[in-house]
Amino acid sequence: MKNKIQYSIVLVLVLLFNARTTSAQKDARWGDFYSNKYFFSYENSKKSVVLYASRDTMVQVWVNGVKDTADYSKGIQDLDHFECWDNGVCYDIELINNDRLIVNSRDNLGDGTDFQFEPEMKSNIFGEEEFYSCTNFKQNISWEGLDPTQVLNLNNTAYYLDQVGCYECAISILEELIKAYPNRIVAYINLGDSYWDNKNYTKAKSAYAKYCELMQAKGKKCKIPKRVFDRMK
């Protein structure tokens, strides 16, 4: 159930950047692109990553909905890249076709102007990850061809998106997931919770009802959380 999902690490990186480019075109492109948008990755077998982009001058990282207290430095902006630093590690973020990001972790060599890809960095926060925009992700994912791990990670990603307040993105992911995998029981309670948090109580009750139906069919009525029954009244 939703409150027992503990094996997926989610990093919410709030990219708040200082626009220092002299190109009006660059300012417009990045200023529009990094304006209160969420991105997510689901492919890593041990973590689902959520990235939130907004305008400001600081970088904040959230792990499982809890703010990371590390000191993250300001980034530098370019037409297709955004870089931020933490403890000598550069996180290079590349914009692809306005709807995807590629993130690489790289270490600092000496003077901070040269970079080197390090395989071991794959275990440090991002490694190399591909992020999908929450507003344009449907066409980038082959929903029918997901393996069980990808289904699990997408469900977990939606759960954590809900936890950080990105309800509409969580709902979109779960709706697509249920269309492709209608027997994915936990997705229904997560969808119900996201609808509820987004104040769409009618749809929430419908999702909860389906969740209860599937749970009872499995003989697991006793494991249905009390909040589900309370909200269905």
List residues bridging with 81 in a β-sheet: 94
Mean pLDDT of the chain, nearest integer? 68
Report the pLDDT value the prediction gives residue 161, as an integer from 0 to 100.
Answer: 83
Total length of the chain:
233
Write the CATH number of the domain with boundaries 2-139: 2.40.310
CA distance 29 to 41: 23
Q: Find, among 154, 185, 186, 189, the residue nearest to 172 by Cα.
A: 154
In this structure, CATH architecture of domain 146-232: Alpha Horseshoe (1.25)
Q: Find, among 11, 35, 31, 6, the residue nearest to 21 by Cα.
A: 31
Distances (CA, A) of 191 to 166, 204, 208, 228: 13, 7, 8, 12
Report the pLDDT value the prediction gives residue 4, as an integer from 0 to 100.
Answer: 37
> For residue range 124-156, what is the model confidence (pLDDT) as tens digits?
445 566 667 777 677 778 888 888 888 888 898
206 has pLDDT over 80 = yes
For β-strands 128-133 and 37-41, DSSP reports them as antiparallel
Residue intervals in the chain for CATH 1.25.40.10: 146-232
Evaluate whether 79 touches 26 at the Cβ level (below 8 Å). yes
221 DSSP assignment: G
> For residue range 172-204, what is the model confidence (pLDDT) as tens digits?
999 999 999 999 999 999 999 999 999 999 999
Evaluate whether 50 touches 10 at the Cβ level (below 8 Å). yes
Q: Work out the pLDDT band at 121, boundaries 50, 70, 90.
A: very low
For 56-70, 153-167, 209-223, which range has the lowest pLDDT when averaged over its residues?
Answer: 56-70
| Average of per-residue pLDDT across 95-113 | 59
For residue 91, is it left (φ>0), alpha (ψ between -120 and 50) or beta?
beta
Residue intervals in the chain for CATH 2.40.310: 2-139
* Cα torsion angle, 198, 180, 141, 153, sign: positive
Report the pLDDT value the prediction gives residue 16, as an integer from 0 to 100.
Answer: 30
